[in-house]
Amino acid sequence: MRRPSTLFGPLFALLLAVPGIGAAQDLRIEGLGQSRVLTAAQLRARPDARDILVPDDPVYHRDMHYRAVPLRSLLSGLTADAHVQFVATDGFTGEVPAQLVVDAGRTAGWLAIEPEGHPWPPVASGKPSAGPFYVVWTDPSAAGVGREQWPFQVAIVRVTTNLDTRFPAMLPDPAVPADAPARRGFAVFKKDCVTCHTLNGQGDARLGPDLNIPHGPTEYLGTAYLKKLVRNPQDLRHWPEAKMPAFDQRTLSDADLDDLVAYLSHMASRRSK
């Protein structure tokens, strides 16, 4: 999950001036043949709104209670082959396969709505809260919901096509077998990296650098230092204002990290011009 941006204030003001980003208490929903804006008051008043408990919330690191609307009913008409993108006010784009929303067994996705006049706690010292809208999950481990799939400070919910279709320059060589490390690493990239990074100039996130243009990290860092960077960026280069979080083994296993490195190394030979 992204580290709260120190540029939130001015960037938020800039985003409000960009078409498609609504006011702080408005949520824009795009796709499914429509574009609509809902206020926080309208969402709280929905008949399907519920009070839910999220144990060990990954943003607040404690149990949290929310008033929330089920994503499945909010995005009525969503099909499992689609994709849902959550655009935050700081440029983070949470990418969630529609399958997680439509039918993930015990796991349920919710849009939590910040109470009017009673904001949630700051996400960090001196930072705003996770509101006005925050995507949370009940029983996330049952469907393997990752840390990057808890976007907060959400302004836009967009139903679109999957990443493979939208960004073909991210794809490994078609000749790479389905069970190859580079192919598995692409799945890791889509789950944990594309929320902040582009690759070969493709992607919607704007928080982190492109991971293949002009050079890939396996070229200028090598495998050992790249893994150190992913595990804890501050171990490689100390920068108090850095936004990239540490990916521990609970968040990203050693096997997944190996596969991610294999994908990035493979893509260095498939650089877009």
The verdict on 13 and 141 lying in the same domain is yes
User: Residue 13 corresponds to which tokens in the numbers above?
Assistant: 């003001």
Task: Give the pLDDT score at 4.
Answer: 46
Q: Which of 161, 187, 210 is the last residue of a domain?
A: 161
Same domain as 104, residue 81: yes
* Residue 192, domain extent: 164-267
Task: Read off the tokens for 144.
Answer: 């393997």
What pLDDT, on a 0 to 100 scale, did the predictor assign at position 24? 54
C-alpha separations of 9 from 55, 118, 180, 240, 256 in Å: 29, 20, 43, 18, 35
Q: What is the CATH number of the domain that holds 15?
A: 3.90.420.10
Residues 146, 169, single domain; the answer is no
**273 within domain boundaries:** no
Determine the pLDDT at residue 125: 82
What's the domain count of the chain? 2
80 and 25 in one domain? Answer: yes
Which of 135, 161, 187 marks a domain boundary? 161
- Domain edge (last residue) among 113, 129, 161: 161
Query: Can you give the pLDDT at residue 208?
Result: 86
Residues 182 and 71 in one domain: no
Looking at the fold, whether 212 and 155 belong to one and the same domain comes out as no
What lies within 8 Å, CB to CB, of 26 at 6+ separation is 37, 38, 39, 40, 155
Q: What gap in Å lies between CA 113 and CA 135, rounded to an integer?
A: 9
146 and 231: one domain? no
Q: Give me the half-sphere count of Cα atoms (radius 13 Å) on the Cβ side of residue 203.
A: 28
Q: The CATH number of the domain where 191 resides is what?
A: 2.60.40.420
Q: What is the DSSP letter of 169?
A: G
Flag whether 72 is in a domain. yes
Give pLDDT < 70 ranges for the chain.
1-24, 241
The token pair that represents 8 in the structure block: 């939130």
pTM, 2 dp: 0.74
Give the SS3 label for residue 224: helix
- Yes or no: say if 97 and 106 are a contact pair by the CB < 8 Å rule: no
Same domain, 66 and 119: yes
**Residue 3, domain member (yes or no):** no
The answer to the question of residue 137 being in a domain is yes
130 and 175 in a single domain? The answer is no
C-alpha span between 257 and 85 (Å, rounded): 24
d(CA 205, CA 145): 19
Q: Cis (ω within 30 of 0) for the bond into 55?
A: no
The reply to whether 153 and 172 lie within a common domain is no
Indicate if 94 and 220 belong to the same structural domain: no
Say yes or no: 170 and 250 in one domain: yes
